[in-house]
């Protein structure tokens, strides 16, 4: 197996492998190119994101600055909004559904290092070489999710559809659909229900009204 195939399989791989380093260097340089664009340079920004990401749905917007690690392992759905300082360390696959909104400083990480200090420094590969090795677990985020500022999503986490993750949360375990979750570590506070509708907050609603379901597509 190549090191990238090992990465995808969730087993130990060497991040210093020349082929992997080449992917990361290209992506890191593209991050810099994106980060020096102006917000209204929409065509240039779109072209750079197309080079970085595995896929990026229609109607999306990423404020920048951005920091993708591989980029090609990240797939983002339609109508995504990412605020300032989006960081995605996508050694393993990262998928984000449609209509997701991320506040500033959201971080998604997939790589994991051995817990034992000596094993973090080096291990012997199956072919007998002494190398520094890590492994990675994918992150999957459903549709219609809202992340507050400074949310961190850890390796191997799945977050279901329609979730709200409170600001500053560190998500170490998967979160079921339709949940409001928050904290360090992040835990489900409660299920989101009709009682959370803005119709029950007339003082904030100020004469506005929610659209019928499906009308906002």
In CATH, what number is assigned to the domain containing residue 102?
Answer: 2.160.10.10
**Does residue 75 belong to any structural domain of this protein?**
yes
- For the cut 90, the answer to whether the pLDDT of residue 213 exceeds it is no
Q: Does residue 148 lie in a domain region?
A: yes
Active site residue 113: yes
Cβ proximity of 116 and 136 under 8 Å: no
User: Which position has the token pair 């995504």?
Assistant: 80
Question: Per the domain annotation, does 126 fall within a domain?
Answer: yes
pLDDT (average), residues 69-87:
98
Asked if residue 192 lies in contact with residue 175, where contact means CB atoms within 8 angstroms, the answer is no
Q: What is the pLDDT of residue 217?
A: 58
Is residue 211 assigned to a domain? no
In a domain, 49, yes or no: yes
- Structurally, how many domains does the chain consist of? 1
Which domain does 44 fall in, by range? 3-113+122-154
Give the Cα separation of 108 and 90 in Å (integer).
8
From the candidates 69, 75, 79, 113, which is the catalytic residue?
113
Task: Quick: pLDDT tens for 126-171.
Answer: 889 999 999 999 999 999 999 999 999 999 999 999 999 999 999 9
């Amino acid at each position: 197996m190549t090191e990238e195939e090992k990465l995808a399989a969730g087993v130990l791989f060497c991040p210093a492998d020349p082929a992997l380093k080449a992917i990361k260097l290209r992506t890191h340089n593209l991050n810099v190119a994106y980060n020096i664009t102006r917000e209204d340079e929409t065509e240039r920004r779109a072209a750079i994101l197309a080079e970085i990401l595995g896929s990026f749905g229609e109607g999306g917007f990423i404020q920048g600055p951005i920091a993708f690690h591989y980029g090609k392992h990240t797939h983002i759905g339609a109508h995504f909004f990412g605020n300032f300082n989006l960081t995605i360390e996508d050694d393993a696959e990262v998928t984000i559904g449609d209509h997701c909104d991320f506040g500033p400083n959201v971080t998604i990480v997939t790589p994991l290092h051995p817990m034992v200090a000596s094993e973090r420094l080096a291990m012997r590969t199956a072919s007998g070489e002494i190398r520094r090795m890590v492994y990675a677990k994918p992150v999957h985020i459903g549709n219609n999710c809202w992340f507050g500022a400074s949310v961190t999503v850890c390796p191997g986490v799945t977050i279901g559809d329609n979730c709200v993750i409170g600001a500053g949360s560190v998500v170490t375990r998967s979160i079921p659909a339709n949940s409001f979750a928050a904290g360090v570590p992040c835990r489900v506070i409660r299920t989101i229900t009709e009682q959370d509708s803005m119709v029950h907050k007339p003082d904030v609603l100020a004469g506005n009204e929610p659209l019928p379901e499906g009308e906002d597509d």
